Each structure stands twice: as structure tokens, then as C-alpha cells.
Amino acid sequence: MILKRDRNDRGLTTGSWLTSKHSFSFGRYHDPGNMGFGPLRVINEDWIRPGTGFGTHGHENMEIITWVLEGVVSHRDSMGNEVSIGPGEIQLMSAGRGVRHSEYNASDDTELHLLQIWIMPNQVNGEPGYQQRQFADGEFHNSFHLLAAPEGEEQSLSLKQDARIFAGRFDPDVHHVRELNPDRRYWLQVARGELELNGQKGMAGDGFALEEEHGLELAALTATELLLFELPK
């Protein structure tokens, strides 16, 4: 079964410095039918104006992943990290028993565009942690590459949940077939471009929930960037 979460049905938060679209309930946007997908709790697509951002705030017991599409994030946290994150990098912050951080657009003239993802951990009140890794463009080329997984398997970042996150960038007219485990559930988020997934058309901002599927077949209609989440049932 494949269910599409249309980009135009997402929740919306707007302000003087931020536009944010929510695939699942978040903040003041509440949709009882879209509270998450298994432990995948948040997918927010954010556009942050130059020189602005999220001031210092706290989190507990959440795996927080940042995937930058355009621009550079300036990140500072209570663990002593002061770093920048750009396209092709993944940031994973394990909030554990509590962490505080800020995230700003590092540019004074260019908008920052990113996806922020929250995954509920399978262990709570642990030690907060921070991980970041830069990937080469070729690692995603016309295939899915593992970004994060339990115990950091295959040199990925270590995720405190029985879940895996993959990224793929596909050239126009590329067809890709991937075997899926029907005993797992999957979420495919279209970050850029247009594609057909098992016969359904998707565009940037769309999400697809896949359950009891044995495989996915995608055809990139344009240059396409995707995030694929493998999750427990």
C-alpha cells in the first residue's frame, strides 16, 4: 500500500523570518490524521531568511536530523559545538535527557532552505550527542546511500532507533528499482524535482508512505533528490 502526502496538504507556519511546511502535526498545526509515521515524528521543510533563525531553545528525547538543500546553517549548542552545515552534509543531534541549541542562516543575503526531521528514540534520558558528516556528491548519484542507522552501520551516523535514513540524487530519465522488506514501513520524501513512484507522480514537498510493499520503482522525470526512511512497524 502506498499513500501520498501531497505537498499542498501540509501544515504551514509563516513569519517575518521563516516559512515552514509540516508533513506531520507540529506547533500550532494539529492534524489528528497526520501525527507521524511510526517513530518518524517530524518532517519540516524550512525557508529561513538571511541573517535570521531559531534562537536558543531546548529539546529532550528526540533524534534531530538536519539536511540542507541550499545555504549554510550556523549551529551552536550546549554541548560546546559551534559548526556550519551545508548541502551534502547531515547533522544528527541526539537530545537525550536535554540539550539546548540555536540554528541560524549563516548568510546575510541568501535564503536558507533545509529539511528538519525528528525521530523518536528507542532509549530515553540518555547522554546528549552530536554527529555530523560530509558526503561526496558521487555517493548519492543515481542510487540511495545510507546516512544514519542503528550503531552507525556501514560508516553511517549512529541513530538511537531501529531505523535507517538514505539519500539519493537521480538524473532525469533514470529508473531505479529497490527491494523493500514488507515487514518494515518506509517513507519517501521528495526534496527536489519530480518523479513517478510505482506509477504515482510526485513533486518536491510530496511524501509517500509505503507499507507491506516488496519493492519500489521510481522514474526521475527531472533531476531529483530524495530521502528514504526505513522504519519499524
pLDDT of residue 137: 81
What pLDDT is attached to residue 172? 98
pTM above 0.95, yes or no: yes
> How many other β-carbons are positioned within 10 Å of the β-carbon of residue 216?
19
State the Cα–Cα distance between residues 132 and 178, nearest whole angstrom. 27
Residue 134 has a pLDDT of 94
10-residue stretch averages of pLDDT, the chain, 233 residues long: 97 97 97 97 99 97 98 98 96 98 97 98 96 92 97 95 98 98 98 97 98 97 98 96
**Residue ranges per structural domain of the chain:** 2-231
Cell 489528528 maps to which residue? 32
Spell out the long-range contacts of 23-30 with Cβ–Cβ below 8 A and sequence spacing 24 or more: 23/189, 23/207
Q: What percent of the chain is modeled with pLDDT above 70?
A: 100
Asked if CATH classification 3.40.50.2000 holds for the domain at 2-231, the reply, yes or no, is no
Q: Given CA atoms 6, 143, 145, 89 in this order, what sign does their dihedral have?
A: negative
Are β-strands 164-170 and 207-211 bridged in parallel, bridged antiparallel, or unpaired? unpaired
Residue 145, marked binder: no
Q: What share of the chain is helix, strand, coil (3-state, %, to 5)?
A: 5, 55, 40
Pairing of strands 185-192, 89-94: unpaired
108: buried, middle or exposed (CB in 10 Å: 19+, 13-18, 0-12)? exposed
DSSP class of 141:
B
Assess contact for 228 and 188: CB atoms under 8 A. yes
The H-assigned helical ranges of the chain are none
Cα–Cα nearest to 189, from 147, 134, 157, 129: 147
pLDDT for position 4: 98
> What is the per-residue pLDDT for 153?
92
Residue 59, annotated as binding a ligand: yes
Contact 197, 205 (CB under 8 A): no
- The verdict on whether residue 101 carries a ligand-binding annotation is yes
Question: 6-65: per-residue pLDDT in tens?
Answer: 999 999 999 999 999 999 999 999 999 999 999 999 999 999 999 999 999 999 999 999
User: 100 pairs with which residues across the strands?
Assistant: 58
- Give the pLDDT confidence score for residue 195 in this predicted structure: 98
